[in-house]
């Protein structure tokens, strides 16, 4: 799987942990930075990862900031992105099954590295359920054009 990944300064350590894990598992990981804990603006990195996923160059995206909320908000401005801030296993599973989320956003100030890794596994390995949910995803796509 090709995965685009990015973080701000607050998410740098968790992003690095996820990047290494995903690459070791044989995924193609495209790292958009940041590459330190020096303060930066998270929307810049959300846009890079979001465009990679929204334009179909990556299968999924992972973003990490302090809470996951800002990254998700910024990424969801990109056409084709369905980013979800994830804090629990149930959210990771349902975001994929029901919402066909293609970008996960994690809060490094709210979850630890081990939890982020577990949620990433669920996010990457859960299939979209389709059916009635596909109709709802189509309606979300229509909102992008309104």
Whether 65 is catalytic is: yes
Whether 133 is catalytic is: no
Task: Kindly list the distances between the CA atom of residue 91 and the CA atoms of 20, 33, 38, 104, 124, in Å, as whole numbers in the listed order.
Answer: 23, 25, 30, 10, 13
Residues 9, 79, 98, 133: which is the catalytic one?
A: 98
User: Which helix (H) or strand (E) element contains residue 81?
Assistant: none
Q: Assess contact for 104 and 59: CB atoms under 8 A.
A: no
**20 φ, ψ to 5°?**
-65, -45
Place of tokens 């990679």: 52
Active site residues: 65, 98
């Amino acid at each position: 799987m090709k995965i685009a990944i990015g973080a701000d300064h607050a998410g740098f350590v968790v992003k690095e942990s996820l990047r290494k894990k995903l690459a070791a598992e044989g995924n193609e990981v495209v790292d958009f930075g940041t590459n330190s804990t020096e303060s930066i603006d998270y929307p810049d990195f959300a846009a890079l990862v979001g465009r990679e996923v929204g334009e179909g160059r990556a299968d999924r995206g992972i973003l990490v900031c302090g809470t996951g909320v800002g990254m998700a908000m910024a990424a969801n401005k990109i056409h084709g992105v369905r980013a979800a801030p994830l804090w629990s296993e149930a959210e990771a599973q349902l975001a994929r099954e029901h919402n066909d989320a293609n970008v996960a956003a994690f809060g490094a100030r709210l979850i630890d590295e081990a939890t982020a890794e577990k949620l990433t596994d669920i996010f990457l390995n859960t299939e979209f359920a389709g059916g009635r949910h596909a109709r709802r995803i189509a309606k979300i796509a229509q909102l992008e054009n309104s």
